[in-house]
A and B are shown apart, each in its own frame.
Chain A
């Protein structure tokens, strides 16, 4: 798969995405848009497209970084408690500061995501039995514990409905004015690209890193901060998109190897393409209604995940 194909597909899908919806805006109108159509594009369609692209890219990249740092192909924000911790953070921010600004919320959510991921990595250090499947299972259990804590707190405080609104990833609520916090992911991803080489070296282990004079702990911590920050911003604006960080990097690895320098851009683009495609499917399948993105990604993603698991035996992922 060439990079330019990914870019071409992304452009085409983006174009399609902008012109799908209940209000009629067709590509033919593009040169004589009415006032109303311009409003629709600026307030709804384009923010939606932007948040899809950023969410897809950043969750895929977050997954890639986690897999590299944990040296396990099945660790991702979904299977390491990062997503659940970020969600708990959002809930806490809702409870304590009812009128919190998006920036305050993301800070709290980020802090929770970081602590949660950090705990998982500490647990990982302690596990002697480094089986490829066992570790993500531990992560899933850990995530579920945090998730049940969140549900308990939400239940006690009558916040269940609020919680389910950000439990499910959903792009239909994205509108100009309420999604901008996701832009935080962009500079963070630039930093991730800057660290690509170091993450690859860290992925080869502590001894290997030290031999090359790399400050292993520092690089791992920077990676975890990137993952937590990106996850928090996506959970806060879009909600949880499962499997993304798991399957996209694994697909890219198959044809591109594991050198982050070569895989990062592919992972980001494929992630954006995948979410965009799932979103278009979700919007058209029961038109004029739509299926939330977490459902479409969940169904397609889990199918791919099972395929990857079965394939693992053959190619030793």
Chain B
């Protein structure tokens, strides 16, 4: 369980994360939505120790994140940032192998190799494992990064806008894989996402943020609500029920 209490972060007198308190249950997929500058990415970065907080308390499975050894934490939580645009010439397999670093420090064991093979297979990258990252398309590269996170084999996975610059086909493909990670492997996934329909269709819970504050958090069907979204985005959003999915129409 991820527990955040009264988290606060200010940049140059501007409060980016303002008294955020939330609880994330294990084995669920939670989406963070909200307009630009709502503090979603900052929040994820603070929870995953990439950025220092000003005050507040973060606990993962009852342990304070900042008091846990960084390497131990790397076996429990993994984070993929939108800025993880690597300009190194590495092969897909090399990149995925780095996911095993917290365990083996670079000396890959048989167990590591097995995990890497599985991660590659899971992301359907096996046949291009020896290609260099710069030879791949945007979608393939994103999948390679997610494969690395899978190889890292952590209970909690934080993803910061993993659908950025992906077309619809690749976006759905990635969301389906994430869903499978939760349903089949019991992972807990926290994801920052801009497209509220992807959030609505694939996640269990949604946290809606605006100006660093939580506007609403709860089950996806409760947050995808005309009133909540009006407050969040300052625009009228009509919500339609298509099958068992709630779709936002805002065009």
Which listed segment binds B: A93-101, A145-153, A251-259?
A251-259
Rounded to whole angstroms, the CA-CA distance of A206 and B70 in the bound complex is: 13
Render B73-85 as a binary contact track against A, CB cut-off 8 A, 1 for contact.
Answer: 1110011110110
Given A201-B98, A257-B132, A259-B94, verify A208-B84 contact (CB < 8 Å). yes
Task: Please give the distance in Å from A65's CB to the nearest CB on chain B.
Answer: 14
The interface residues of chain A lying within 8 Å CB-to-CB of B71 are 213
> A200 touches which one: B49, B79, B88, B102 (CB < 8 A)?
B88
Render A224-253 as a binary contact track against B, CB cut-off 8 A, 1 for contact.
Answer: 000000000000000000000000000001
Rounded to whole angstroms, the CA-CA distance of A215 and B78 in the bound complex is: 15
The interface residues of chain B lying within 8 Å CB-to-CB of A204 are 84, 86, 88, 98
Rounded to whole angstroms, the CA-CA distance of A261 and B88 in the bound complex is: 13
The interface residues of chain A lying within 8 Å CB-to-CB of B200 are none
Task: Please give the distance in Å from A220's CB to the nearest CB on chain B.
Answer: 15
A197 at the interface (CB under 8 A from B): yes
The interface residues of chain B lying within 8 Å CB-to-CB of A258 are 88-90
Determine whether the beta carbon of A211 is less than 8 Å from that of B79.
yes
B231 at the interface (CB under 8 A from A): no
Determine whether the beta carbon of B152 is less than 8 Å from that of A316.
no
Determine whether the beta carbon of B50 is less than 8 Å from that of A213.
no
Rounded to whole angstroms, the CA-CA distance of A148 and B105 in the bound complex is: 44
Rounded to whole angstroms, the CA-CA distance of A203 and B90 in the bound complex is: 11
Rounded to whole angstroms, the CA-CA distance of A198 and B107 in the bound complex is: 12
The interface residues of chain B lying within 8 Å CB-to-CB of A214 are 70, 101
Residue from B75, B84, B89, B152 whose CB has the most chain A CB atoms within 10 Å? B89
Determine whether the beta carbon of B86 is less than 8 Å from that of A208.
yes
Rounded to whole angstroms, the CA-CA distance of A71 and B152 in the bound complex is: 24
Determine whether the beta carbon of B90 is less than 8 Å from that of A213.
no
Chain B interface residue count, Cβ-Cβ cutoff 8 angstroms: 33
B72 at the interface (CB under 8 A from A): yes
Q: Which range contains the number of A residues in contact with the other chain?
A: 20 to 34
Contact residues, B41-100 vs A (CB, 8 A): 45, 48-50, 69-75, 78-81, 83-84, 86-91, 94, 98-99
Determine whether the beta carbon of B101 is less than 8 Å from that of A207.
no
> B49 touches which one: A208, A210, A212 (CB < 8 A)?
A210
B37 at the interface (CB under 8 A from A): no
> A207 touches which one: B79, B90, B94, B105 (CB < 8 A)?
B79
Determine whether the beta carbon of A212 is less than 8 Å from that of B88.
no
A205 at the interface (CB under 8 A from B): yes
* Chain A, residue nearest B76 (CB): A213
Rounded to whole angstroms, the CA-CA distance of A257 and B102 in the bound complex is: 23
Determine whether the beta carbon of A213 is less than 8 Å from that of B86.
no
Rounded to whole angstroms, the CA-CA distance of A213 and B70 in the bound complex is: 5
The interface residues of chain B lying within 8 Å CB-to-CB of A197 are 101, 105-106
Contact residues, A165-209 vs B (CB, 8 A): 196-198, 200-201, 203-208
Given A197-B105, A259-B94, A316-B134, verify A210-B88 contact (CB < 8 Å). no
Given A197-B101, A257-B89, A259-B90, verify A213-B84 contact (CB < 8 Å). no
Task: Please give the distance in Å from A139's CB to the nearest CB on chain B.
Answer: 18
Determine whether the beta carbon of A210 is less than 8 Å from that of B90.
no
Rounded to whole angstroms, the CA-CA distance of A231 and B234 in the bound complex is: 59
Determine whether the beta carbon of B98 is less than 8 Å from that of A212.
yes
The interface residues of chain B lying within 8 Å CB-to-CB of A213 are 69-75, 101-102
The interface residues of chain B lying within 8 Å CB-to-CB of A257 are 88-91, 94, 132
Rounded to whole angstroms, the CA-CA distance of A261 and B93 in the bound complex is: 14
Contact residues, A260-280 vs B (CB, 8 A): 261
Top 8 A-B pairs ranked by shortest CB distance?
Answer: A213-B74, A197-B106, A213-B71, A258-B88, A258-B89, A257-B89, A212-B101, A213-B70
Besides A212-B98, A259-B88, 4 other A-B contacts (C-beta < 8 A): A207-B81, A211-B79, A213-B71, A253-B89
